[in-house]
Amino acid sequence: MALRILCPAKVNLFLHVLGRRPDGYHDIFSLLCGIGIYDEIRLRPSPEGVRVSCSDPALPADEGNLAAAAARRFGEALGRPVGVEIRLEKRIPVAAGLGGGSSDAAGVLLGLNRLHGQPFGAERLRRIGRSLGADVPFFLFGPPALARGIGDELEACPALPPLHALVVTPAFGVSTRMVYQKFDLELTRAEKRPTRAHFESTVFSPGRHLWNDLETVTLARAPELRRVKDMLLAAGAEGALMSGSGPSLYGLFGERKAALRAARALPRGKGWRFFCAELLSQAAPRIEEEGGSEAAGAPRGRSG
């Protein structure tokens, strides 16, 4: 059996950093939501251990690739090495704050679990995912989620309004570790901190709720991102924000055609990528058997 897996990106609709933990991670409070930009993975059993190939030659094919690391962790949990060929068609920008590597890892875990007869339940898979990265449990969880802890304590968020994101990713990446190291907790704005109770009494509003404590760090190092954010708002976005540690920025629009108009209006830096994608009600990777139709026709976002 061979599997085709569509692995979506994510954005942080808000992100508050609450403090540094003894283990070196940071406690956060964040609202995560999948967006319709997809990497595509093909899994095929192999007698030759874990083999990874990728459409992006800049990505490693060894343990530095989260897809390969996920296959190894799955084998450790299973109690025996797994043999699998992983072909990764990379569409989500790398080191961009969109969670592509974590989504790929979640897709490999779910795919291997299916290939091996579902030996693990959802909670066990999330524990394996947590050992790979803080965002992996979200992609195994699925719906828009309020995240606490390092991002792995998840609670489904009340329904979000239908919105479309125009995502702008520059030609450079950002180190998440560096951004957190530069972050100064004393500079955060306490009045911008929604709580779970807050979302029980109000509907998410881009103009009111978008906030990212890490944005000041990344935008200070790349002032051109500040100009892009201002242009997104000038182009009609209801709100604009950096996702995660960046450097991707996105604007939220009520209609797709408004996002597409904004994309045409924004100037394009060399190597920059633009995507129009909807917010998703379900961010778990979608799996089909090769030749099947379960995930056929899923939207992948548009870049240009």
Q: Write out the two tokens for 186.
A: 């004393």
The owner of tokens 């548009």 is 302
Give the model's pLDDT for residue 286. 97
Q: Looking at residue 54, which CATH number applies to its domain?
A: 3.30.230.10
**Residue at which a domain ends, from 127, 157, 187:** 157
Co-location of 123 and 186 in the same domain: no
Give the model's pLDDT for residue 304. 41
What is the mean pLDDT of the segment spanning 43-72? 91
Instruction: Fill in the amino acid letter for 181.
Output: Q
Q: Domain of 194?
A: 164-278
In a domain, 301, yes or no: no
The answer to whether the beta carbons of residues 129 and 140 sit under 8 Å apart is yes
> Tens digit of pLDDT for each residue in 122-148?
999 999 999 999 999 999 999 999 999
Co-location of 185 and 136 in the same domain: no
Catalytic one among 39, 135, 152, 213? Answer: 135
Give the model's pLDDT for residue 195. 60
Co-location of 90 and 180 in the same domain: no
> Tens digit of pLDDT for each residue in 232-281?
999 999 999 999 999 999 999 999 999 999 999 998 878 899 999 999 99
Which one is predicted more confidently, 254 or 160?
A: 254
Residue 33 pLDDT > 90: yes
Co-location of 43 and 101 in the same domain: yes
Co-location of 35 and 143 in the same domain: yes
In a domain, 246, yes or no: yes
Q: Looking at residue 168, which CATH number applies to its domain?
A: 3.30.70.890
Mean pLDDT comparison of 21-25, 160-164, 294-298, highest-scoring range: 160-164
pLDDT classification of 298: cutoffs 50, 70, 90 = very low
Which one is predicted more confidently, 76 or 61?
A: 76
The answer to whether the beta carbons of residues 59 and 65 sit under 8 Å apart is yes
Co-location of 9 and 135 in the same domain: yes
Q: 241 forms bridges with which residues in the sheet?
A: 250
Co-location of 122 and 202 in the same domain: no
Q: 249 forms bridges with which residues in the sheet?
A: 168, 242
Q: Write out the two tokens for 53.
A: 């190939």
Co-location of 66 and 193 in the same domain: no
β-strand pairing of 273-278 with 302-303: antiparallel
In a domain, 268, yes or no: yes
In a domain, 179, yes or no: yes
**Residue at which a domain ends, from 157, 186, 201:** 157
The owner of tokens 């962790």 is 73
Residue 190 pLDDT > 60: no
pLDDT classification of 53: cutoffs 50, 70, 90 = very high
Co-location of 152 and 238 in the same domain: no
Can you give the three-state secondary structure of the chain, one letter per residue? CCEEEEEEEEEEEEEEEEEECCCCCEEEEEEEEEEEEEEEEEEEECCCCEEEEECCCCCCCCCCCHHHHHHHHHHHHHCCCCCEEEEEECCCCCCCCCCHHHHHHHHHHHHHHHHCCCCCCHHHHHHHHHCCCCCHHHHHHCCCEEEECCCCEEEECCCCCCCEEEEEECCCCCCHHHHHHHCCHHHCCHHHCCCHHHHHHCCCCHHHHCEECCHHHHHHHCHHHHHHHHHHHHCCCCEEEECCCCCCEEEEECCHHHHHHHHHHCCCCCCCEEEEEEECCCCCCEEEECCCCCCCCCCCCEEC
> Tens digit of pLDDT for each residue in 76-94?
999 999 999 999 999 999 9
Which one is predicted more confidently, 267 or 108?
A: 108
Catalytic one among 10, 90, 104, 213? Answer: 10
Q: Is 270 a catalytic residue?
A: no
What's the structural domain count of the chain? 2
The answer to whether the beta carbons of residues 8 and 34 sit under 8 Å apart is yes
pLDDT classification of 101: cutoffs 50, 70, 90 = very high
In a domain, 215, yes or no: yes
Q: For the beta carbon of residue 2, count every other beta carbon within 10 angstroms.
A: 14
Residue 114 pLDDT > 70: yes
The answer to whether the beta carbons of residues 67 and 189 sit under 8 Å apart is no
Co-location of 42 and 103 in the same domain: yes
Co-location of 143 and 168 in the same domain: no
Co-location of 150 and 134 in the same domain: yes
Nearest to 227 by CA among 176, 271, 269: 269
What is the mean pLDDT of the segment spanning 172-180? 85
In a domain, 135, yes or no: yes
In a domain, 62, yes or no: yes
In a domain, 300, yes or no: no
Give the model's pLDDT for residue 295. 44
**Residue at which a domain ends, from 157, 186, 205:** 157
Give the model's pLDDT for residue 267. 85
Give the model's pLDDT for residue 19. 85
What is the mean pLDDT of the segment spanning 15-29? 87
Give the model's pLDDT for residue 196. 61
Q: Is 10 a catalytic residue?
A: yes
How high is the mean pLDDT of the chain? 89
